[in-house]
Structure 1
Amino acid sequence: MVLSSVNRFTQLDQHLRDLLASTGSPGLAIAIFDRENTLFERQFGFRDREAELPITPDTIFGIASVTKSFTALTVLAQEAAGRLKLTDRISAHLPLSLPGEPTLEHFLTHSTGLPPAPTMTWIRIASQRGDPAAEAANLTEAKLTLANGAMGSTPNWRSVSCAELDLAAGQVPDEETWRRCSELTEQVGTPDGLCAWLQEHARPLFGAPGAVYSYSNDSFALSGHVVERVSGRPFEEEVARAVLTPLGMDRSTFDADKVVADADHTTLYTRDKSGAVQPSPKWQTTGRMLGGGMLKSTLNDLRKYVRYLMDPQRYSAPVPAERVVSMREGRVWSGPDERYGYGLAVNKLGGVTVVTHSGSLKGVSSVIGFSPELGIGVVGLCNLDGVPISQILYPTFNALMGAPLATRPYEPEAFSGSEPEARELLDELVGEYRSGEPYGRLIIEADGVTPRVRSGAPVAVEVPAVLIRRGELSVRMPMNNVAVTAHRDADGNVVGVLAGSRVLWRTGTGG
């Protein structure tokens, strides 16, 4: 193990306080630990800002997409019981037949070829009607998934520009939005209904199974349903049998009502339409679609979980230790700095492996991470969405290795060719890109040889970016860099980009 000086943890403590202040987060908790001991633990702010109730190591937070590794483990538990194989075609378990016949392994590695769809957005938004802080923002997002030009609205939805979609979304009445979200939730809120929608509308696919990485909440929601079908038991019961109970994670649950009834749970916070951080009491729910992000947990429970992922041979659990280790094998290229395993992302920092996953939902920003070589794990939990809490990982490992806190795993050099060459490379990427998710949008423009990148919707934020090489930009974030890489068709034309974790289609060009 590499030990840090007191000064290093002092710097990290200040970095976390700065993160809390700069984001307006009501509360944030972090633990850094090795296989036996806790090296650093802090709870900043409050679990309930209005009542000034402190965060404890047992405060229940949402963990959002950190859930995905639990889903992968539970699928592996079914494999260990002889109920399935990861090489099984998904069509053997669900009424979904896609080109190339993707397997369960493709579902667990976001490599089915499925594009990001609005399905989980509809279910989450339908659960937010009546929430004083979230309702208005959710309405705006929902309209972007329902208007003419949204995925599924028309076969040639990619020919609609962002401006045209925004105009159409502004004309969808509020009551119609709620009604359609409710209707669509009933349709895609069952495994058969979700499969039917994806079968008809999630087109075109990005590529053959295993060829292209693109983050898919639908893939993990459906993986959870495979667990139910082969086990004959509810997904949450199987997660408890495979992971929670063997590890003693007694305060972790999928049940939002149970969380709210618990004396030590966090209030959820989000930004209202004015940008003010407000309490947002209604937990987002997705019905039976639990596998993508609906687990709730605590600092103490997740510390147990990360220690298990680091050293599974030390535990008695249904999944063989070698299969737990296999989760962190990078199986799919997910960016210049990263590979994706089973529900876990893998990259290198200063020569050591860092395995991680983050999560984001309303009132939730979460991250887990560990280095197998160092034997060090990290858990971070926050009760406000949109907080870049995953950016605590690299400063943490840098502090432990004695490196500058700002060292990043992906630090490419800017393109050094001539201006005409740079202009040609940049022109190839200029355009609008979006997906079926309301926030899945990227607009790339050129200011001479300098890229201008705007990200997100309904409010686009300009982010600094530099040209790296043909088909690659680097977006510079405060404590990390994010790659934007070209996705090409068989003729070499840029038809999309992998921006962070999702492939976005080029739109507004008649495609």
Structure 2
Amino acid sequence: MRSRSRIALAALFAVASPAAAQDPAPKTLEQLAPDIDARFATFQTDAHIPGLVYGVVQNGKLVYVKGLGVQDLDARRPVTPDSLFRIASMTKAFTALSILSLRDQGKLRLDDLAEQYIPEMKGWTYPTKDSPRIRIRDLLQHVGGFVTDDPWGDRQQVLPQAEFTKMIAAGVPFSRAPQSQHEYSNFGYALLGRIVTKASGMAYTDYVRKTILTPLGMTASGFDAPAAPKDKYALGYRWENDAWAPEPEMVDGAFNAMGGLQVSANDYAKWVAFLLSAWPARDDPDTGPVRRSTVREIAQGSNFTSVVNRIGSSGADACKQSLAYGMGWRVAQDCELGLTLAHGGGYPGYGSHVMLMPDTGTGIFALANRTYAGPSGPAWDTAVAMDKAGLLVRRDTPVSPAIAEMFAATQAAYAAGDLRPLDGKLAMNFLLDRSADNWTAELAKLKDQVGACPTAEPLAPLGALSTAFRLNCEKGKIDGTLLLAPTSPVMIQAWRLRVVPGDHP
């Protein structure tokens, strides 16, 4: 799997790749568990956390889960996978998917103005005369122009709906013009909760329960945290003056859409497994409460990207990530972990983190009961440790019949030393870009360097119409790419070959 990725990248970018060291023998998750446990135990101690629970979801199942410490400091009930934690801003992912599901039902459009559903916004004064009015998608991706409102927004959880209506009607000061820059806004996601209510005709909490929680079997989860069973309730604490102090319990209120959900690890794992099941795109029946293509849409980030260090102890030495905010998720490309979707949750009394790695069907999450004690570091370090242990197996892009046929034809052309085996298979640009005589000369030059190439490594498709490849030759190796044209029938628009440096006498 990894060697194919290296071949694909080397061929695509025409960069010499050194001989790869032998990958270490894969470990089992059971063998890696002591290392994972040690990371979270150290974090718990260093961050002064009464209790936390963490889990690994892989291939649709909660394959590892463990609780540390206690739910509450008085009764000393131990944390279990059924302990209930507020997940704070990780609630935003439920809000975003609720909005997208309403879009699927035709009850709203992402480009609708938010004020169509919240009439109190119509009287707002925007920061400049050329400011665009706020759309629903602007709120989803935090480009509404509002100021970053941590920690103010966290304390608005208990705000009554009527008071929120007055707040909206009074207008808000803007940090910048909408759509000009990403700036994280709890207020914006509270507005999305109002939109869910208006478009669905039911309370936000009822819509999330009906559309997501109940279909996924998340029966222990909900928004009315103080009413949860006390024997399972992880009470929230803050650490100050070298001691723990209880945070006030917060009832469900107008800002619930930005951070009010309470879950257990066993319940939350069902949510993570459901999201990951949306990848890859396929022909299987679509049985989820929200369709797979809609779930995959959450990974579409805005164009306000940044370059960041990976979270965790490997961050300083790992390659940089390209990060953008999707829809309820921070979306990053990581050169080792692939596509990642992650989000933290910080709240009075709680800290949480989740990361999804769709390329490998793996998710890691952790929930803690200390104010803003987000366990992001050990979560990402667990992902890196699993990758190094060979436990993150990337799904291969399948070799399409068109690619298989055309690659075989190019092998025949190399063996023949000219383009005759490609007759009828070349797109109209191919011979305009390089003449047949030039190709004959080029193939002769390659054969002189490395000889015949009787075998090839498994193809590394970059999609259904392109692939990287490596040919095994008598005196070396050739890396290349094959790119088909968007025609019917498909034809070859480009065929690139390069001798791998250092692999021939």
Q: Give the partner amino acid of 1:293.
A: G
1:80 pairs with 2:80: no
* Residue deviations 1:357-384 (CA, integer Å, cap 9, x gap): 1101111111121100111111201011
Aligned to 1:388: 374
Q: Deviations over 1:272-310 (max 9, x none)?
A: 4x2411333x32346222110001001011100011111
- The alignment partner of 2:212 has SS state of helix
Q: Which residue of 1 aligns with 2:76?
A: 52
User: C-alpha distance in 2, partners of 1:122/1:247?
Assistant: 29
Does 1:372 pair with 2:358? yes
Alignment partner of 1:16 is 2:52: no
Q: 1:387 offset after TM fit, Å?
A: 1.6
Aligned to 1:300: 266
Q: Secondary structure at the match of 2:134?
A: coil
1:35 aligns with 2:59: yes
Aligned residue in 2 for 1:102: 134
Summarize deviations over 1:332-381 as a string: whole Å, max 9, x none.
43531311111011113333111111101111111121100111111201
1:424-452 residue CA offsets vs partner (Å, 9 max, x unmatched): xxxxxxxxxxxxxxxxxxxxxxxxxxxxx
Q: CA deviation at 1:93?
A: 1.4
User: Is residue 2:156 matched to residue 1:123?
Assistant: yes
**SS of 1:44's equivalent?**
strand
Q: How does 1:246-325 map to 2 (within 5 A)?
A: 246-259=215-228, 261-272=229-240, 274-280=241-247, 282-285=248-251, 287-312=253-278, 316-325=287-296
Distance in 1 separating the partners of 2:305 and 2:370:
27
2:113 aligned with 1:113: no
1:193 aligns with 2:166: yes
DSSP-derived class of the 2:287 partner:
coil
1:239 to partner: Cα distance: 0.3
Report if the CA contact (8 A) 1:32-1:41 is conserved. Answer: yes
- Match runs of 1:184-263 below 5 Å: 190-197=163-170, 199=171, 201-203=172-174, 205-209=175-179, 211-259=180-228, 261-263=229-231
Aligned-pair CA distance for 1:317:
3.7
| Matched-pair contact (CA < 8 Å) for 1:9–1:399 | no
CA displacement at 1:90 relative to structure 2: 1.1
Structure 2 letter corresponding to 1:254: F
How far the C-alpha of 1:196 sits from its partner, in A, is: 2.6
- Distance (Å, rounded) in 2 between the aligned partners of 1:113 and 1:286: 26
Q: What is the distance in 2 between the residues matched to 1:242 and 1:382?
A: 27
Closer/same/farther in 2, CA of residues 304 and 102 from structure 1, 3 Å limit? same
C-alpha spacing 1:227/1:390, structure 2 compared with 1 (3 Å): same
Provide closer, same or farther for how the CA distance between residues 332 and 196 of structure 1 changes in structure 2, counting only shifts above 3 A. Answer: farther
Q: 1:330 to 1:40 in 2, by over 3 A?
A: same
Q: Give, in whole Å, the separation in 1 of the partners of 2:91 and 2:155.
A: 19
Contact 1:35 1:307 survives alignment (8 Å): yes
Normalising to structure 2: TM-score of the pair?
0.62
Distance in 2 separating the partners of 1:391 and 1:30? 12
Give, as a single letter, the amino acid of the residue that structure 2 aligns with 1:110. Answer: H
Does residue 350 of the first structure (1) align with residue 344 of the second (2)? no
Consecutive unaligned residues of structure 2, counting only runs of 5 or more, are 3-25, 279-283, 309-322, 391-505
Q: Which runs of 5+ in 1 are unaligned?
A: 128-184, 405-511
Deviations 1:85-105 (A, max 9, x none): 111011211122443112101
Cα deviation, residue 10, structure 1? 2.4
- Amino acid paired to 1:359: G
- Pairwise CA RMSD: 2.5
Shift of 1:206: 2.1
In 2, Cα distance between equivalents of 1:100 and 1:4: 53
Displacement of 1:230: 1.5
Q: Secondary structure at the match of 1:43?
A: strand
Partner Cα separation in structure 2 for residue 382 and residue 359 of structure 1: 10
- 1:467 aligns to what? none
* Residue 477 (structure 1) aligns with: none
Aligned length: 337
The Cα offsets for residues 24-52 of structure 1, whole Å up to 9 and x where unpaired, read as 11111001120244433211111123322
Check whether the contact 1:308–1:314 (CA below 8 A) recurs between aligned residues.
no
CA distance in 2, matches of 1:51, 1:121: 27
Is 2:304 aligned against 1:333?
yes
> Counterpart of 2:215 in 1: which secondary structure?
helix
Quickly say closer, same or farther: Cα 1:257–1:38, change in 2 above 3 A: closer
The answer to whether the 8 A contact 2:95-2:257 is kept is yes
Change in Cα spacing, 1:252 to 1:122, as seen in structure 2 (3 Å) is: closer
Q: Which has the higher contact order (CA 8 A, sep 6+)?
A: 1
Indicate the residue corresponding to 1:438 in structure 2. none
Aligned equivalents of 1:21, 1:189: Cα separation in 2: 42
Distance in 1 separating the partners of 2:136 and 2:71: 38
Q: How far off its partner does 1:320 sit?
A: 2.1
* TM-score, normalising length: structure 1: 0.62
